[in-house]
Structure 1
Amino acid sequence: MPELPEVETTLRGIKPKTEGHSIQSLIVRNGKLRWPVDSHLTDSLPGQKLTAINRRAKYLLLTLTSAKTGAISHLILHLGMSGNLRVLPHNTSVQKHDHIDLLFDNGYMLRYHDPRRFGAFLWTDQPLDQHPLLAHLAPEPLSDAFNASYLFQLAQAKSCSIKSFIMNNRYAVGVGNIYANESLFLSGIHPTTAAKKLTKKQTEVLVVNIKQVLAKAIEQGGTTLKDFLTPDGKPGYFEQELKVYGRENLPCSICSTPIQRIVQQQRASYFCPKCQPKK
């Protein structure tokens, strides 16, 4: 699943050739995504100007301005389990699972490709911070609001595992399975440790590592573990930096102890039993 670094990479890739341009047309080949694509969009989007593209957690937020009335609306896009967005010339041939094309007046289009169709292409004319998908999200992990004091205070009342805790969007956003595993390894914290058992010092270290892991992944263009591609069709390279994820039975990069794998809430957790002792 594309996580925060992959979505941020996508944003940075699509922004230069789409932001500031007007929508010429919308082509929906298959609107049966996680939620059905509004049928009125093929008529209402043409003529709208894409005035800004932002990200909130794993959602891409496209702000539109009506050329006629100046009214503001938004598209909320999510890449689901297997989706990607690419900027392509209008005449690019259609491939299987190319479900939506958003064509702009500069000859480029934004193409949404999603084999499993778990993504989203939603429209709203309401304030984004009031939208049900966005209203209860935690602070952005690379912001100052996401800090050790914030996380430690929340963790004190949580008996769930620390891995589940930092993957919950109400407490931390964008820390998907890959990045949770990597952050916990760098912090020396076993993934099954109860969140409320973390000390202030451990929380400080964990927050620092979450920020560093996500920032490094963004710098490397995300992680390619199946079909994630950047908007220019290139793979992300953070996979080469992974210390524990997907490395079961391989030696730990620090102590050479074989990496172990367990399953938590149907997600694979990887850890070094020596560097991350269970307490």
Structure 2
Amino acid sequence: MTTWQGRQRFATTDPPAPPQSDTPPRSRDERLAYHSAFVTIRTPAISQLATQVRTLMILGRHQQTTARPSLIVTGPATAGKTTALLHVGRACHLAHTRKNPAPPGSAHAAAPVAYVLVPPGATAKTLITEFARYLGIPVTTRMTQTQITDAVCHTYTAAGVQLVLIDEIHRLNPRTTTGAQTAALLKDLIERLAATFVYAGINVTVDGHAEPVTVKLGVWTSNTKSRRQTRPGPAGPPAGAGRRLGGRGSGRRGRPGVVCPVARTAGGDPDEAADDF
């Protein structure tokens, strides 16, 4: 999933077909394999999250001089944040390929969505290396962080990446020097890439305050523990925007957002998700 090839397979693989009445009984391994490949249902919460992402993508297309607005999906562990994130990315991928089919004989498929997992103890260089690994950008040990960042920005722009999904954002601690440098890298990418960034993490707060994370024009949050949608956050200075990403709070609950429960079942239309975009 953290490489383009894996994400391509995830986005284009049809969901498992339920067994027919006239087919022979399946073995235990076949039944387990079938149930482990459940697909995501478009619940109202999932559709609302997709609508928010699509809205931010449209707003970002007209944002030329400042960083594009981003979005954070947050909540407790095992609430379905990653599943919701992957579903929105799949919907964006299917919608893009349906509207912009690859020319006949083309050897390069579209890469409208990137998915990056924040590694434990991430530094700015290890995180930008994960960005490079997603599209198979060669990275050597002698390359500096600036060189890798330039290669990532050039390749992502050439590949037409429109949506960047960053998971496990809570692993960043901007109160440390390393965490602050990594958050600053993300802010730099937001300003250099013509893409919308969506983050997901466990109980992400803003320095312990019940305010949404601020990145330039404001960020919308989606909290898995509430049912109310937040308004766009207040504008903030560029220096504070990167510093606040993924900050650990004092334990106070963040501002309520959109509930993001994920219902899973076997079956469904593989192209239905693209209707969200």
Structure number with the bigger relative contact order (C-alpha 8 A, sep ≥ 6) is: 2
* Superposition TM-score, scaled by structure 1 size: 0.24
Structure number with higher strand proportion:
1
* Larger of the two Rg values belongs to structure: 1
Going by fraction, where is helix more abundant, 1 or 2? 2
